[in-house]
Structure 1
Amino acid sequence: MVIAVVYLVVAVGAAVFYGGILDRQLQGPRLRAAWADGLTAEARCTGLRSEEAQDAEGAPVVHTHPTLEFRTADGRAVSFEERRARLTVAEGEFMTVYYSARNPESATTLAPSFVPRHARALTTAVGSAFALVTATVLAAFL
């Protein structure tokens, strides 16, 4: 029984830890902040920067990151480089951005979605449920 309890505590701790890592990897805090105020603006692509990388098999891949410029609700001009979304946009084109009034430089073109908003909670819940089931089985057979 003690082994099952220790396992449960360690496994739930790991689920919480990995939930936080996944949340940061998906840029959850930045995206939630950009979506929280519900502010949107039309941004114009003012430039494109290409970056070479490799895919999982080692083949070369080129990622293009647009520089977008928009005006906030209070009239301030903001420019930022979108690194998160894979966009196919040409210089001079317009697109919708989501931003926070407190930090408009952290704007994003990604529309609000379920996974980035709830990645931490989902990972923690699934990991904790698995840990509970596994600890119950351990307690029953040890």
Structure 2
Amino acid sequence: MVIAAAYFVLAVGAAVMFGRTLDRQLQGPRLRSAWAEGLTAEARCVSLRTEEVQSPEGGPLEQTHPTLEFRTADGHTVSFEERQSRLTPALGDFVTVYYGTANPKDATTRAPSFGMRHARTLITGAGSFFALVTAAVIALVS
């Protein structure tokens, strides 16, 4: 029983750390702050930057990052490079951006989604559930 309890504590801690790390890698805090106030604007693509990266298979892959410019509700013009979206507008195209008043440069073209809003909680919860089931099995077997 002690081994099962120790396993459970360690596994839940690992689930929490994994959820936090994955949330940061997916830019969850930045996206949630951009979506929090529900502010949107129409942004125009003012430039495109292309970079060559390595694909998961090891071959070369080109990624294009648009620089978008929009006007906030209080009249400030904001320009930012979108790196999170699969959207690649052409020069001069307009797209909807989501932003917060505290830091409009953290705007995004990604629409709010349940998965991204709650990724950290979902991952931590799933990991904790599996830790509980595994700890119960360990307790029953030993």
Scaled to the shorter chain, the TM-score interval is over 0.9
How far apart are residue 116 of structure 1 and its match?
A: 1.2
How high is the TM-score relative to the length of structure 1? 0.98
**Ranges of 4+ aligned residues in structure 1 off by more than 2 Å:** none
Partner residue in 2 for 1:22: 22
> How many Å separate the matches in 2 of 1:84 and 1:99?
14
> How many Å separate the matches in 1 of 2:56 and 2:73?
42
> How many Å separate the matches in 1 of 2:89 and 2:33?
24
Partner residue in 2 for 1:137: 137
Matches within 5 A, 1:123-134: 123-134=123-134
Matches within 5 A, 1:1-142: 1-142=1-142
The 10-residue stretch of structure 1 (53-62 or 13-22) with the greater mean CA deviation from structure 2: 53-62
Q: How many residues align?
A: 142
How far apart are residue 30 of structure 1 and its match?
A: 0.2
Say what the alpha-carbon RMSD is for the aligned residues.
Answer: 0.6
How far apart are residue 64 of structure 1 and its match?
A: 0.2
How far apart are residue 115 of structure 1 and its match?
A: 1.4
Q: Secondary structure at the match of 1:86?
A: coil
> How many Å separate the matches in 1 of 2:102 and 2:57?
41
- Aligned residue identity for 1:35: W
> How many Å separate the matches in 1 of 2:136 and 2:24?
31
Identity %: 68
How far apart are residue 59 of structure 1 and its match?
A: 1.5
How far apart are residue 88 of structure 1 and its match?
A: 2.2
Structure 2: gaps spanning 5 or more residues = none
Contact preservation (8 Å) 1:27, 1:116: no
Structure 1: gaps spanning 5 or more residues = none
Q: Secondary structure at the match of 2:61?
A: strand
How high is the TM-score relative to the length of structure 2? 0.98
